[in-house]
Amino acid sequence: MTGLEAPLGFTDCGSPTARASRDTAGSDRHAVTPVIDRFIIHHTGTTDDQLDFFSRCNKRSSAPTFYLRHDGSVIELIRPGAKPSSSGADWNWRSVAVETLNETGAPGYTVTEAQTEELAQMIAWLATFDGKDLDGVPVSFTIDREHVISHRETCECPGPFLQARLNDIVNRAQQIFTENLTA
């Protein structure tokens, strides 16, 4: 995993000094107790590399935690303790979000086998923090379909290819996590 510090992990990307806080949710910005309890899978909707787009202030104000390329390489765009801006006000405060670069465009929006394997690896990694803090934020995360969701479950992303494979990715993540416990 490679890490950047994209300006969108902050309250003002023009002056990146204060991190976006996980203690508010919803369009009314009501107070919540910070937690990471969801892993949300997104897709870019394009086959063009989007790293530059996500690495700076952008027209969508989008800032996922991670960006996943075709070869399975992961770039950390914002620290996991910073609130992502990717899944909507009711979900950002409680999630780690990964934006997955599509291998093909519409209508399937497919991704590579390396990407589906890496998604499972990332989910298993997050589960190792259950009951602990990750970058200063408490984690309450179980590898199941309640906690591993797609952006489609909060709107219309990540496309039919990844959506149809979420159960397989969750099952693979459970296998990886169990193997790591016994290693």
pLDDT by 10s per residue, the chain, length 183: 444 444 455 556 666 666 667 888 888 889 999 999 999 999 888 999 998 888 776 555 678 899 999 999 999 988 898 888 887 788 889 999 999 999 999 998 999 999 999 999 999 999 999 999 999 999 999 999 999 988 666 665 667 788 888 889 999 999 999 998 887
Helix (H, G, I), strand (E, B), or coil: what is residue 38? strand
* Contact partners, residue 98, CB within 8 Å, separation at least 6: 39, 40, 41, 42, 64, 65, 66, 67, 68, 74, 119, 122
Domains of the chain: 2-8+31-182 (3.40.80.10)
pTM, 2 dp: 0.80
Q: How many CB atoms lie within 10 A of CB 124?
A: 20
Q: What is the model's pLDDT at position 6?
A: 47
